[in-house]
Structure 1
């Protein structure tokens, strides 16, 4: 009779009975690996990686007031700069989803984050509007990959009972990034910087963008020292490496020798695949597929996407795409313009010695440049934006509290119930915002709207992770976010 070993996870999950001679599936193997130091390390590195996504899409919102005179930005220019990053993300959704599900999460995280750091540096060195547009488009094109890979990678180091909460942790990481940005803006942007390095001219906003590239570069290097996702390794038939990863996680989490990990064999997940993702491709020594030609890569991508759009997944995946499109159109359109809205209300209050309805305050958005003759009006950048940055910090802090609360409730209430509650509350806040007459009420309503809407975005991603098989997961996340970002881009134009 096979020997039985009783293993307890540090996360207070139920004890798991392991038969040494039995091949284990992924859920049993990852539960046996425990929950502890390794997961904490993973969260720390994922925090920097998550911030890089936030920094890529949001930094321009804080740069606009400081850079509008240097770059002679009109309102249309600002809208394009907000939208162009999402345009880059949309254009790369298919590419990154296929590459990540083919070559693995780790490789794409390393390459993508390092490239994103480089393009953020390129944006920091930009001296005019066209160069900045190009840098932001390329940054958006690249960051789409690490975002989807990070979502899958982090989920695949946790068992099913923890997976929904992991998505809330990711949301909290992004919200913390949204808190860091106004803090950095408050420290850097009001400083009067004006110096040259060779032919390049630098101001405070250049330095701000340069510092925002550091999380991407640091996390790209850090992922070199982390293992590949064991779930991905199992799905590609590389059980030997997957078992080694489980042993490493077990050793770090429990402090016991890796050799004492009770599971000795893993089931062959490739036998359960209903389609052949390796058609027209070779396999390297690591068991990861490599393409022969560009044509075969395209055919492989079609084979990989086909199961998402056929069979029982179709009605649900269409609903998911539609929900993400609508939520991200609303949330990101408002979120990216909040610093400008707060600035407009602040300036209106100062100039008219009193508050006014939100719509009246936004009249101060009248462009400082005539689109035909940009020298017609004198431009004076307002560097006294401390109250604007403080208001943005309040919004970000509210989001963090919201994610922590949602993380504790999602398993008990369920994703569907949480999503319905979030939609009703955020929609109500958005409609009420139209009637806001004070800065305080605008901050309160916008904070609630952004918080509940952002949580909804991540709940939808948690649904996708549960809905779609491993070999299609990153592609499905990429497509879901592609539809969402298409909505965000439209909302900013």
Structure 2
């Protein structure tokens, strides 16, 4: 008898201690905050990882097939530069395409379709023999993959509350950055091999197999994306509050290891986001154009020009050296030391590269190289590239944790530009090959770090109502810098090798001088904010 009474009293206490459900309709931010942070958020990152890697692979794989595919695609220095640049050409064109698509289609469908098309383009690249068709597919791939890559972080952020969003973005950037390391690591394993696989009378050499393997992130991304739901924010925007509520309860259940019925939000605001029709394309272009006119007018003109120039220079140095280091040091590894007059001292980098210039100009041009001798692929070169990529990602993440104030950003930026300039000037005269490689690696690491700081400055200084347009424009300027760097550097290697290396250092020197003006006292930022607050 007493035992039953005790059990009943305990049951009454449990019911009274249940967290009461909120009957008042909750907005999105309140509802997502109630789900907490846990296993579901980690699973979302793991599922999104191959999607982010697909974009990183597209921006990196060309650098690791230049030596292996030189004879098959009749590559010269100039052709190699064009090949490295083609993805960035596509990325510049992508905003015109994706800005029209993103607001008119389910984002999950966009991600899956984009990844499927990217996988198809890369598979075709591994099959074709024509250099020009190869360029076409690289351009298409750059255009396609840029959309899902850009859309990914906003999509993932919508599964996180505002309390975790900033930290999560920083940490996910490190995880996604691993995608720039893996292509180099795969090149160590695959490209030095003398593999030949025949399928339907078509022979796949090691570099073609490498490209085929590098399509796996896109294919895996399609599978993982099919398991992810649409974000709760997008469901609410589309008026599917019932589906959004069910999803939020499931997220709560996975994160907290409790029954979904314990989720404290009972109802969502149906009118939190107004019902919206697919926006018209013409007004979107008009709005972007008006935003650009504002950015290139006072009071934003000066600071916005500085941001673009500095980002142009940083990305030029970063992607030029990053994409050419594997090829340059593959050539150096094939250098026949018996042909060098050691009384002159150690060869410079340009002395090493001189052996790669096409010797017979009567039968060959800068546009074709029929008299080709296959390079011996040294896997240690790609090991070094793996270490460089790891350093760039690791140091960028560590610096991001450090430059939390304006003064720290200024200090890190100044330090990186100075070190990058010294190494840029010294790369040709390093003498000892490991020292040359170290200096090239420092240019890559410092270039990425300064580019990240510039984007952070852009987000902090540019007013909120102009920030999306500004970020898109600055990103495209960075891609344009990558194109100019690869095309200019490849052309100069044939005609004035030393100028090619010195030009990178000179551009960084200009950036150093201009960087003095970009992080001025906060009064400029406040003035801009006051100015923007008057805009209706």
Whether the TM-score (by the shorter chain) exceeds 0.5 is: yes
Measured after TM superposition, the shift of residue 470 of structure 1 is 11
Q: Structure 1 residues 231 and 367, CA, compared in 2 at 3 Å: closer, same or farther? A: farther
Contact 1:96 1:478 in 2 (8 A): no
1:420 to 399, 410, 419: 410
SS of residue in 2 equivalent to 1:68: coil
Q: Structure 1 residues 43 and 153, CA, compared in 2 at 3 Å: closer, same or farther? A: same
Measured after TM superposition, the shift of residue 475 of structure 1 is 6.8
2:422 to 427, 432, 437: 432
Give the structure 1 partner of residue 496 of structure 2. none
Contact 1:325 1:483 in 2 (8 A): yes
2:476 aligned with 1:487, yes or no?
no
Give the structure 2 partner of residue 346 of structure 1. 333
Provide the rounded CA distance (Å) in 1 between the counterparts of 2:160 and 2:450.
Answer: 21
2:92 aligned with 1:99, yes or no?
no
2:300 aligned with 1:327, yes or no?
no
Q: Structure 1 residues 357 and 209, CA, compared in 2 at 3 Å: closer, same or farther? A: same
SS of residue in 2 equivalent to 1:201: strand
Provide the rounded CA distance (Å) in 1 between the counterparts of 2:233 and 2:455.
Answer: 18
Give the structure 1 partner of residue 219 of structure 2. 217
Matches within 5 A, 1:386-401: 386-401=379-394
Larger Rg computed on CA atoms: 2
Provide the rounded CA distance (Å) in 2 between the counterparts of 1:266 and 1:44.
Answer: 28
SS of residue in 2 equivalent to 1:103: coil
Provide the rounded CA distance (Å) in 2 between the counterparts of 1:477 and 1:162.
Answer: 22
2:137 aligned with 1:135, yes or no?
yes
Q: Structure 1 residues 100 and 377, CA, compared in 2 at 3 Å: closer, same or farther? A: closer
Measured after TM superposition, the shift of residue 130 of structure 1 is 1.3
Provide the rounded CA distance (Å) in 2 between the counterparts of 1:270 and 1:470.
Answer: 19
TM, length-normalised to structure 2: 0.74
Q: Structure 1 residues 109 and 207, CA, compared in 2 at 3 Å: closer, same or farther? A: same
Give the structure 2 partner of residue 73 of structure 1. 75
2:354 aligned with 1:363, yes or no?
yes
TM, length-normalised to structure 1: 0.80
Q: Structure 1 residues 34 and 457, CA, compared in 2 at 3 Å: closer, same or farther? A: farther
Measured after TM superposition, the shift of residue 463 of structure 1 is 6.7
SS of residue in 1 equivalent to 2:129: coil
Provide the rounded CA distance (Å) in 1 between the counterparts of 2:459 and 2:110.
Answer: 18
Provide the rounded CA distance (Å) in 2 between the counterparts of 1:463 and 1:24.
Answer: 34
2:372 aligned with 1:379, yes or no?
yes
Q: Structure 1 residues 150 and 359, CA, compared in 2 at 3 Å: closer, same or farther? A: same
1:186 to 165, 185, 188: 188
Q: Structure 1 residues 240 and 118, CA, compared in 2 at 3 Å: closer, same or farther? A: same
Deviations 1:18-57 (A, max 9, x none): 9824444444333322222112212212221121111112
Q: Structure 1 residues 383 and 230, CA, compared in 2 at 3 Å: closer, same or farther? A: farther
Provide the rounded CA distance (Å) in 1 between the counterparts of 2:228 and 2:465.
Answer: 21
Q: Structure 1 residues 405 and 364, CA, compared in 2 at 3 Å: closer, same or farther? A: same
Measured after TM superposition, the shift of residue 457 of structure 1 is 4.0
Q: Structure 1 residues 38 and 460, CA, compared in 2 at 3 Å: closer, same or farther? A: farther
Q: Structure 1 residues 452 and 55, CA, compared in 2 at 3 Å: closer, same or farther? A: same
Measured after TM superposition, the shift of residue 183 of structure 1 is 1.7
Does 67-76 or 364-373 show the bigger shift?
A: 364-373
2:288 to 305, 315, 325: 305
Matches within 5 A, 1:93-242: 93-198=95-200, 200-235=202-237, 238-242=240-244
Provide the rounded CA distance (Å) in 1 between the counterparts of 2:394 and 2:435.
Answer: 19
Measured after TM superposition, the shift of residue 337 of structure 1 is 0.9
Contact 1:144 1:478 in 2 (8 A): no
Give the structure 1 partner of residue 273 of structure 2. 270
Measured after TM superposition, the shift of residue 87 of structure 1 is 0.7
Provide the rounded CA distance (Å) in 1 between the counterparts of 2:105 and 2:59.
Answer: 26
Provide the rounded CA distance (Å) in 1 between the counterparts of 2:167 and 2:89.
Answer: 30
Measured after TM superposition, the shift of residue 468 of structure 1 is 9.3
SS of residue in 2 equivalent to 1:202: strand
Provide the rounded CA distance (Å) in 2 between the counterparts of 1:6 and 1:441.
Answer: 66
What runs of 5+ residues in structure 2 fail to find an aligned partner?
A: 1-15, 488-536
How many residue pairs match? The answer is: 457
SS of residue in 1 equivalent to 2:193: coil
Contact 2:23 2:266 in 1 (8 A): yes
Contact 1:20 1:262 in 2 (8 A): yes
Provide the rounded CA distance (Å) in 2 between the counterparts of 1:304 and 1:248.
Answer: 38
